[in-house]
Homo-oligomer: A and B are copies of this chain.
Amino acid sequence: MKAVAVTPGTPNSVHLEDIPEPSVDQVPDGKGVLVRVLKVGVDATDREINDALYGNAPEGDDYLVIGHESFGIVEAVGENVRRVRVGDYVTATVRRPGGSIYDLIGTNDMTSEEEYFERGINLRHGYLTERFVDEEEYIVRVPEGLKHLHVLQEPMSCAAKAVHQAYEAQRRMKVWRPKLAFVLGAGQIGLLTTLILRLKGIEVYTLARGAAPNLKSEIVSGFEATYVSTRETSIAELVAKSGKPDLIVDATGSSSLAFEAMQHLGHNGVVVWTSITGGDRSVQVPSDAVNLHWVLGNKLLLGSVNANRDHFEMGIRDLALGEMMYPGVLEKILTNPVDGLENYKEMMRLLVEDKEALKVYVNVAEV
């Protein structure tokens, strides 16, 4: 069957590969779920893997099937599968367990090991193919009513984890009722984070470069949040009007903005960093002032990557609530479909060239 793959270590090696059909028996103990792929989303990670910045093939193979944002339909299940049935719509988690204590309890996203096993990213094949099989544990049901949001499940899981980690860390406060949040960046993670925070009743300012109105500002407004163009208003100017936020989520891809965020946080607040910043830039930080205010204000910063099964389930819950609260807004994120695996070159072109594309995804098969 067809798959879109790269040759790890070789830049711009994206190609169509003929790979073996999977079968439900490949998973032991009758726990296998065979999924027919319907749609797969791609993002900067896929682009960077094609740039050979990272990404390794599974042992024994010289190619890596890419694509980690999956949406499909269950085609067969092993005899001991209980969570899903044939015909269910599903997505799949990305990271597979290593050997750390965090992997043993199902929080593979928190592995303390240096080596990651991630489908479509590192050492495990991804979903940009016709079918895949995996253990029931990693297959998450998507309600039929959310099938029009298909490939948003995985990015939503990452946004859900980022926000949930902030709340979990804030259990140190005994009580935490954030009222004001800034989301830096209005890509898919920034927009989905905006939704999650709005659904908690938080006043949200979502900051991005482009002048409004544009698609991003339209989606932000659709979630009853406020879009701020940083070309017109600096973070400091916004703070002068809004006050210091209780929570700042950075999803800009810019480490200098990530550090700047530290200067604008309110007392007892949290900054969450979510961006993979692979460069070697450095930045001058007013260290005495940040250190001082961080201590006097009991402030907290955390990094968040990936997501586990719980975060997928949280994300799906919030997609459902989001559709009830702001019907029709979420699907505006799904900007750029590409038809068929064989159109992988167009897919990669959109990823690399189209700066306006919020979400590039491949229609692999009919829903």
Contact = CB atoms under 8 A, between A and B. Distances in A.
A269 to B, nearest CB: 9
A287 to B, nearest CB: 4
Nearest to A262: B301
Given A172-B169, A172-B171, A268-B112, A295 B287 contact: no
A300 interface: yes
A261 B284 CA distance: 16
Contacts of A302: 172, 294, 298-301
B304 A301 contact: no
Nearest to A109: B298
Interface string A150-169: 00000000000000010011
A283 B284 contact: yes
Interface residues of A, number: 60
A285 interface: yes
A300 B255 CA distance: 16
B174 A171 contact: no
A266 to B, nearest CB: 8
A175 interface: yes
Given A171-B172, A300-B169, A301-B300, A295 B276 contact: yes
A236 interface: no
A335 to B, nearest CB: 25
Interface string A283-314: 11111111111111111111111000000000
Contacts of A280: 286, 288-289
Given A101-B177, A174-B107, A282-B286, A291 B304 contact: no
Contacts of A165: 172, 298
A165 B112 CA distance: 21
Contact of A295 (B266, B284, B305): B305
Contacts of A114: 267
B255 A278 contact: no
Nearest to A286: B282
A231 interface: no
Contact of A276 (B170, B255, B296): B296
Given A105-B174, A298-B302, A277 B288 contact: yes
A288 B294 contact: no
Nearest to A292: B277
A229 interface: no
A226 interface: no
Given A112-B267, A171-B171, A175-B101, A296 B288 contact: no
18 contacts: A107-B173, A107-B174, A110-B298, A111-B267, A113-B267, A169-B171, A169-B172, A255-B290, A255-B292, A277-B295, A278-B288, A281-B287, A285-B285, A293-B303, A295-B303, A296-B305, A298-B302, A300-B301
